[in-house]
Amino acid sequence: MEYRILGRTKLRVSALGFGASPLGDVFRVTDPAEGVRSVHSAIDHGINFFDVSPYYGAGVAEERLGRALSGKRTGVVLATKCGRYGASSFDFSAVGVRSSVEQSLRRLQTDYIDLLQVHDVEFGKVEQILTETLPTLQGLKESGVTRYIGITGYSLRTLLRIAEAFPIDTLLSYCRYNLLVDDLDQSLTPFAVAHQVGLINASPLHMGMLTESGAPPWHPAPLQVHEASRRALLVSARLGMNISEAALGFCLAHSYVSSTLIGMCTQREVQQNILAAGTHYDASLYKALLESVEPDRNVIWPSGLVDNLD
269 belongs to the binding site for ligand NAD (CB under 6 A): yes
Helix, strand, coil in percent for the chain, rounding step 5: 45, 20, 40
Q: What distance in Å separates the CA atoms of residue 87 and residue 15, rounded to the nearest whole number? A: 29
188 is an interface residue for ligand NAD by CB under 6 A? no
Q: Which amino acid is at 296?
A: D
273 scored as a contact of ligand NAD (CB under 6 A): yes
Residues 6+ apart with CB under 8 A from 189: 199, 256, 257
21 makes contact with ligand NAD (CB under 6 A): yes
Q: Is 112 a catalytic residue?
A: no
Should residue 254 be labelled a site residue for ligand NAD when binding is judged by CB under 6 A? no
**Binding of ligand NAD by 219 (CB under 6 A):** no
Residues 150-179, one symbol each (x = binds ligand NAD by CB under 6 A, - = not), give: --xx------------------x-x-----
Count of residues interacting with ligand NAD (CB under 6 A) = 29
Stretch that binds ligand NAD, among 15-23, 90-98, 106-114, 292-300 (CB under 6 A): 15-23
User: Do 175 and 297 meet the contact criterion of CB atoms below 8 Å apart?
Assistant: no
- Taking the complex as a whole, the smallest distance from the CB of residue 42 to ligand NAD amounts, in Å, to 11
User: Which stretch, 85-93, 124-132, 259-267, 302-310, contacts ligand NAD (CB under 6 A)?
Assistant: 259-267
Nearest alpha carbon to residue 259 among 82, 8, 12: 12
The whole-angstrom separation of Cα 195 and Cα 211 is 35
**Which of 7, 54, 204, 249 is the binder for ligand NAD (CB under 6 A)?**
204
- Helical packing angle, 267-277 and 243-252, nearest 10°: 50
Contact between 206 and ligand NAD per CB under 6 A: yes
Q: Which stretch binds ligand NAD (CB under 6 A): 136-144, 250-258, 261-269, 293-301?
A: 261-269
The backbone torsions φ and ψ at residue 172, rounded to the nearest 5 degrees and listed phi first, read -125, 125
260 binds ligand NAD (CB under 6 A): no
What is the gyration radius of the CA atoms in the chain, in angstroms? Answer: 18
Q: Which of 114, 120, 122, 169 binds ligand NAD (CB under 6 A)?
A: 120
Contact call for residue 208 and ligand NAD (CB under 6 A):
yes
Cα dist. 136→66, 142, 274 in Å?
24, 10, 37
Q: Site residues for ligand NAD, window 51-110 (CB under 6 A)? A: 51
Report the residue from 104, 170, 189, 244 that binds ligand NAD according to the rule CB under 6 A: 244
Helix then strand count (H, E) for the chain reads 11, 12
Residues 40 and 5: beta-carbon distance below 8 Å: no
Which is closer to ligand NAD, CB of 27 or CB of 85?
Answer: 27
Minimum distance from residue 179 beta carbon to ligand NAD (Å): 11
Catalytic positions are: 56
